[in-house]
Chain A
């Protein structure tokens, strides 16, 4: 049993769990307000062109309707204020199907919804660009500098020198985040001060973007977001609905609630773009890589660029002297793509790690051995040393725990009844970073009991931030967890990074840890005493009878970190059972082995990892959004058409962590697990399906029709 006086590293229950299991956790639309009005968005039914007329007379006459807002009467906003995706009702232009074109505000949700159906819109339609397959024949160079061609050594031309090659096209479809809580906002004005209740992965980001868009000062806008019903990237950057709620509230002079419908989620808050990835690997007969090329075509919005970096894993995973990574892009009449769990790495690793599996099969080599053989001693993309790299350990420990030796090398040979069994492996990685964050700690002494309050504008979207910060503060101050209160999710608190890109845990925990050290130092100084053994802040409060004390610390990543390449790594092991008749696949067992530095709370960390695994399984087997290129709309338009995995799709998931201490990326040695949990998962599943059936599916998702 571990040292029981320390809280970090223990799998304690979530401190906010009690609120979630009793229905008392408050999400954006759960706050009561007097005199609330309800807003409903309505959307364009064409993908490209101009609105020539909006007739809202009938809607305005509808009982209970307070206001109809369109580009004709909406206030002028700053479209460069930092919100994503446009659609701010600033003009008649339509650039994608389902663009917001107006808002109905009414006494009730029922009335606003009914009235929205009475609006008549006329368009001047233009030819839309919505056919990805066609457009992908003539893609263009992306604008982003980081997306320029990356050539190492002789680049792709080294493929010629290889003895064994794999060159295949891998495709991943559009995916949607679909957090269980559809994006929603409640806006309340008091004079020129605005409060927005809105699920936000980046509290301060939401605040500055809302303020800038509304031409206000950040301190006039307050974001409240203690609980977020999932985000997965879609609540990182904020979208038009945030500010349109404020606009509506201003125009009707009442608090307004605006929630997107599930159907509206398809074209309101970004998506994971569709990717065509050509992956070429060349190797010697012994399995040493000589060339690696990853050529990617994706799409973006017609007027703005976001491209998920599918080549990122390829850049650093293997030791190969010659490589090429290229991005090409197709602007389309579609909502702007955005960060989606494991952006680029999850989809990119599907191509890379499938191709590695294909190579191993061609070489008649164990896929684990092939990977170990090509382990890079330092970061091949920039020559920096690894702060630590756990890929080999993940593979080896995972293989033992999973029973990899039971895998049959020849596909299609492991059959139980009608079911084919297969094993697959794939690796992944995600950068470990710390971002600027500040925290305040307030200590009070009452009846000889010290209580600490931690304040930080961090967010917890189910990631366990509340809990790990309480644990961090508990250890840093010398208190039990239940004497700590954590306050987050409010822009009035000290500014912090966001729960995005796996920077949350490291940024927040280091900020709180630094604040603990600082407050202890300050209490020591205040006591004016010398101690043989450094006392804890809690001990000082008691021994010196201080009743109140607080401090704030502003933390940054250590400068040293820049000199290293710091990443989380994983190895994923999948066992699938494929019904040989119906083609239905079930992931019966999955093991993710992760090297992510210090695990602050293994219970919540495990949940994060298996959550990422479920996402990866969804990517592999069920999730796909389909555009009808004739209209530019989504032909899969509801939660019944877009298949998120259900409970029955998921078998036994296990999470294993590498016990490692890597203090280079940050003082706490925390590397982040939210993103890496999905990376490599889809490939592991696809590789297992190949092992089970002998069918190599290179276009996700692997639905039953593809295995007939």
Chain B
């Protein structure tokens, strides 16, 4: 690791002020992603501001839904009685990720900001636009089995690896951010970015901004939700494809479908076309299939990941079925 100053922030204001002052500083949440990247010399902060002691750890019900503190651990969040009862989709998605040890360390804020697992991004001897803008994308014509089928650009074909965020996307969450002057709320769909011409930017957070929490509106999906994750081994592996599905049902009729996909794009991929199609239709296999096909029609595969289109279709159908069964 490159040498860095280590400072423990005393309160959110202090943390934001310190980060704002130094363009090369970084917050340290659980450290499970940042330390990994620092050891690989992908991230090179010269100052680490430990935010682990800030009191942004509360998980609670609010007037309109639920609040997750940015520094609450993934484990606590997944196991909080409120979350298990009302947002089981979120619990399940968190528990699908990483390992027990990592979830014990990982914070909710850090999880949202984890960077891609593209192996060229991690290998500093390789060209990578995300790591070194303008150096090229080694994955575009390289080993891109794990990479995107939606929304990629010639500049970057990486996928965003979080499981938790896929559920949060389906649940219409909002990210609460503290800047040096105010607080702002970022709807989930605007939080993560597609690569476009600036793959170095994963999300719409500006340097100096601190995630303080995540807000999730009330919903009626608890009884009919599912998280399906397809991966190369049965546990402790990132998704090839994952789907978070929640159905709001009136008898057999779908009032609204909430569908987001992981492992397929540079951000949680909200399957809006499928959702639109399903709205108001009966929950049948035929409709699930049609919806999945509609969604996957716009997918564009890379040389090594053509399979993800069929895998995505099947997984969407499967997740819808499981959600329907409850």
Physical contact A–B (CB less than 8 Å): yes
Interface-centre pick from B1, B143, B228, B318 (highest chain A CB count, 10 A):
B143
B241 CB, nearest partner CB in chain A, Å: 8
Closest to B41 in A: A117
Q: Please list 29 pairs of residues, one from A and one from B, whose beta carbons are closer than 8 Å in the complex, sorted by A's number.
A: A113-B39, A114-B1, A114-B2, A581-B315, A582-B228, A582-B230, A582-B315, A582-B318, A622-B232, A622-B233, A626-B143, A628-B143, A631-B125, A633-B123, A635-B119, A637-B119, A637-B122, A637-B123, A641-B117, A643-B232, A646-B234, A646-B237, A648-B233, A703-B232, A704-B230, A704-B232, A704-B240, A705-B240, A708-B310
Q: Check A630 for interface membership: any CB of B closer than 8 A.
A: yes
What's the count of A-B pairs with C-beta under 8 Å? 88
Closest to B240 in A: A704
Choose among A586, A633, A643 the residue that contacts B237 (Cβ–Cβ < 8 A): A643
Known A-B contacts A110-B1, A637-B123; the reply to A628 vs B142 at CB < 8 A is: yes
CA separation between A648 and B229, bound complex, in Å? 15
Which residues of chain A come closer than 8 Å to B126, judged between CB atoms?
Answer: 631, 633
A646/B235 in contact, CB under 8 A: yes
B264 CB, nearest partner CB in chain A, Å: 13
CA separation between A635 and B128, bound complex, in Å? 13
Q: Check B6 for interface membership: any CB of A closer than 8 A.
A: no
CA separation between A631 and B139, bound complex, in Å? 12
Closest to A44 in B: B125
Closest to B230 in A: A582
A682 CB, nearest partner CB in chain B, Å: 15
Choose among B142, B230, B233, B238 the residue that contacts A645 (Cβ–Cβ < 8 A): B233
Choose among A110, A582, A628, A638 the residue that contacts B138 (Cβ–Cβ < 8 A): A628
Q: Check A45 for interface membership: any CB of B closer than 8 A.
A: yes
A114/B311 in contact, CB under 8 A: no
Which residues of chain B come closer than 8 Å to A652, judged between CB atoms?
Answer: none
Choose among B39, B125, B240, B318 the residue that contacts A633 (Cβ–Cβ < 8 A): B125
B232/A647 in contact, CB under 8 A: no
Q: Check A54 for interface membership: any CB of B closer than 8 A.
A: no
Which residues of chain B come closer than 8 Å to A633, judged between CB atoms?
Answer: 123, 125-126
Closest to B311 in A: A708
Closest to B144 in A: A635
CA separation between A647 and B230, bound complex, in Å? 17
Known A-B contacts A110-B1, A114-B2, A708-B307; the reply to A643 vs B233 at CB < 8 A is: yes
Known A-B contacts A117-B41, A628-B143; the reply to A583 vs B230 at CB < 8 A is: yes
Count A-side interface residues using an 8 Å CB cutoff. Answer: 34
Q: How many of chain B's residues touch chain A, expressed as a range?
A: 35 or more
Which residues of chain B come closer than 8 Å to A281, judged between CB atoms?
Answer: none
Interface of B: prevailing SS = loop
Closest to A43 in B: B125
Closest to A627 in B: B143
Which residues of chain B come closer than 8 Å to A630, judged between CB atoms?
Answer: 141-142
Q: Check B231 for interface membership: any CB of A closer than 8 A.
A: yes
A648/B235 in contact, CB under 8 A: yes
Which residues of chain B come closer than 8 Å to A628, judged between CB atoms?
Answer: 138, 142-143
64-121 of chain B: CB within 8 A of chain A: 117, 119-120
B209 CB, nearest partner CB in chain A, Å: 28
B294-326 contact mask (Cβ, 8 Å, vs A): 1 or 0: 000000000000011011001101100000000
A527-561 contact mask (Cβ, 8 Å, vs B): 1 or 0: 00000000000000000000000000000000000
CA separation between A418 and B318, bound complex, in Å? 10
Q: Check A167 for interface membership: any CB of B closer than 8 A.
A: no
Interface-centre pick from B117, B122, B125 (highest chain A CB count, 10 A):
B125
Q: Check B251 for interface membership: any CB of A closer than 8 A.
A: no
B103 CB, nearest partner CB in chain A, Å: 15
A9 CB, nearest partner CB in chain B, Å: 36
CA separation between A177 and B234, bound complex, in Å? 21
A482 CB, nearest partner CB in chain B, Å: 37
Closest to A647 in B: B235
Choose among B120, B145, B238, B311 the residue that contacts A583 (Cβ–Cβ < 8 A): B311
Which residues of chain A come closer than 8 Å to B120, judged between CB atoms?
Answer: 635
Interface-centre pick from A648, A705, A708 (highest chain B CB count, 10 A):
A705
Which residues of chain A come closer than 8 Å to B318, judged between CB atoms?
Answer: 418, 581-582
229-273 of chain B: CB within 8 A of chain A: 230-238, 240
Choose among A114, A117, A649 the residue that contacts B234 (Cβ–Cβ < 8 A): A649
CA separation between A432 and B238, bound complex, in Å? 41
Known A-B contacts A581-B318, A631-B126, A636-B119; the reply to A646 vs B236 at CB < 8 A is: yes
B233/A621 in contact, CB under 8 A: yes
CA separation between A85 and B134, bound complex, in Å? 36
B3 CB, nearest partner CB in chain A, Å: 7
What 5 pairs across the A-B complex have the smallest Cβ distances? A635-B143, A705-B307, A45-B125, A648-B235, A648-B234
Q: Check A584 for interface membership: any CB of B closer than 8 A.
A: yes
CA separation between A646 and B235, bound complex, in Å? 7
617-661 of chain A: CB within 8 A of chain B: 621-622, 626, 628, 630-631, 633, 635-638, 640-641, 643, 645-649
B143/A705 in contact, CB under 8 A: no
Which residues of chain B come closer than 8 Å to A648, judged between CB atoms?
Answer: 233-235
Q: What would 13 more interface pairs be, CB under 8 Å, given A582-B315, A586-B234, A635-B120?
A: A114-B2, A622-B232, A622-B233, A628-B138, A628-B143, A631-B138, A633-B123, A636-B119, A638-B122, A640-B238, A645-B233, A705-B307, A705-B311
Which residues of chain A come closer than 8 Å to B234, judged between CB atoms?
Answer: 584, 586, 646, 648-649
Closest to A650 in B: B234
Which residues of chain A come closer than 8 Å to B310, judged between CB atoms?
Answer: 708
Closest to B228 in A: A582
